[in-house]
């Protein structure tokens, strides 16, 4: 591995994996039970693959791809052909996207990823502690060539449109029924630094009545003020309050980053989300891939080189 790294220039785009395996324990949002999570280095071309170590009698691996998303009502849940599933993957996926981890095996011993504090901060710490290494393989990206969108009659919309470099995200939410949230907007260009410093901290949120209803249905048993911001009317019930005034819209941005990473490669484009959720982003990815004229797969190094030489010529 060391010989391989020496050959790689730090300025090139390579696939990346973790330097060392790393482990943590947390609570499952739905079960309220302990879940063990391990992140393990993986070979070139593996992608992000979840593995259910508690399932031993059938295929227990599920690729973290939009085509495997089976439920988006409360969070992003992925399943394989044998019906083995893992839910609440989006916050971990967002951290993997933020750090550009291409290849990793994510082991859990339960049907859900531990919710930690409802944000991606613990995953950021895990990835940093494990370390990141480039691999001897070029990185491909999906470049958006024309706008693709999904809208509904309630004013919800999501779109992906062309951009020259990287992935930019614009998000808007509007909760007129709660002064604690109200209307919030947020924009960011994704990088390791912007993700870790400005997005990872934002916790998931819900309304007190919803939490009560879910718990009466036997769902969200692990949900508490320790892993979510809970809003009751115009008030935030968490004693410590919010981590920022716009924590709600920043969390929605975090969710979108995680869901978009289910394309299996980074995006060169601009995402816009208006009052949208996991289901809309998944529909958007399906619509994008169904339209072959809306995107192209590029070698990121070659693409950026051609972009720079074109700029240089016109300067």
Residue 124 is given by DSSP the state H
- The CA-to-CA distance between both ends of the chain, in Å, stands at 41
Q: Considering only 209-217, 229-237, 253-261, 274-282, which stretch makes contact with Zn ion by CB under 5 A?
A: 253-261
Which of 121, 122, 255, 259 is in the footprint of Zn ion by CB under 5 A?
Answer: 255
Torsion of CA 277, 186, 169, 72, to 10 degrees: -10
Give min distance, CB of 299 to Zn ion, in A: 32
Give min distance, CB of 178 to Zn ion, in A: 18
Active-site residue list: 278
Give min distance, CB of 278 to Zn ion, in A: 8
Q: Tell me the site size for Zn ion, rule CB under 5 A.
A: 2
Residue with Cβ nearer Zn ion (29 or 148): 29
Which of 80, 135, 204, 282 is in the footprint of Zn ion by CB under 5 A?
Answer: 204
State whether residue 209 is helix, strand or coil.
helix
Residue with Cβ nearer Zn ion (204 or 262): 204
Q: Considering only 34-42, 212-220, 250-258, 279-287, which stretch makes contact with Zn ion by CB under 5 A?
A: 250-258
Residue with Cβ nearer Zn ion (121 or 255): 255
Give min distance, CB of 99 to Zn ion, in A: 18
CA-based nearest residue to 167, from 189, 148, 151: 189
CA distance 75 to 114: 13
Ramachandran angles phi, psi of 136, nearest 5°: -80, 65
> CA 141, 142, 145: angle at the middle one, nearest 5?
140
Query: How is 215-282 classified by DSSP, letter by letter?
Result: HHTT--TT-STTSSEEEETTEE--TT--SSTTHHHHHHHHHHHHHHGGGSS-EEEEEEEES--HHHHH
CA-based nearest residue to 266, from 159, 158, 192: 192
253 binds Zn ion (CB under 5 A): no
Give min distance, CB of 209 to Zn ion, in A: 19
Residue with Cβ nearer Zn ion (107 or 255): 255
Q: Considering only 63-71, 164-172, 216-224, 249-257, which stretch makes contact with Zn ion by CB under 5 A?
A: 249-257
Residues that bind Zn ion (CB under 5 A): 204, 255
């Amino acid at each position: 591995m060391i010989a391989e790294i020496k050959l790689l220039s730090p300025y090139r785009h390579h696939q990346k994996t973790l330097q060392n395996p790393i482990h943590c324990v947390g609570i499952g949002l739905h079960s309220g039970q302990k879940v063990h999570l391990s992140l393990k280095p993986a070979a070139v071309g593996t992608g992000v693959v979840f593995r259910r170590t508690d399932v031993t009698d059938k295929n227990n691996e599920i690729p973290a791809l939009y085509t495997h998303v089976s439920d988006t009502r409360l969070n992003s849940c992925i399943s394989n052909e044998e019906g083995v599933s893992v839910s609440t993957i989006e916050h971990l996926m967002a951290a993997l996207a933020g750090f550009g981890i291409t290849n990793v095996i994510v082991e859990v011993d339960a049907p859900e990823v531990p919710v930690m504090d409802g944000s991606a901060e613990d995953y950021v710490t895990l990835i940093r502690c494990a370390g990141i290494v480039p691999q001897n393989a070029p990185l491909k990206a999906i470049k958006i060539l024309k706008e693709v969108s999904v809208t509904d009659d309630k004013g919800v919309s999501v779109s992906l449109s062309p951009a020259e470099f990287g992935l930019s995200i614009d998000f808007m939410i509007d909760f007129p029924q709660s002064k604690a949230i109200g209307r919030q907007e947020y924009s960011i260009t994704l990088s390791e630094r912007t993700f870790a410093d400005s997005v990872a901290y934002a916790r998931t949120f819900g309304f007190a009545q919803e939490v009560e209803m879910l718990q009466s249905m036997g769902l969200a048993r692990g949900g508490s003020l320790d892993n979510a911001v809970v809003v009751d009317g115009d008030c935030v019930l968490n004693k410590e309050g919010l981590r920022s005034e716009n924590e709600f819209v920043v969390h929605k941005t975090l969710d979108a980053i995680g869901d978009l990473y289910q394309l299996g490669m980074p995006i060169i484009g601009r995402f816009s989300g208006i009052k949208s959720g996991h289901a809309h982003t998944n529909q958007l990815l399906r619509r994008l891939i169904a339209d072959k004229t809306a995107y192209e797969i590029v070698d990121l190094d070659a693409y950026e080189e051609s972009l720079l030489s074109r700029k240089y010529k016109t300067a």
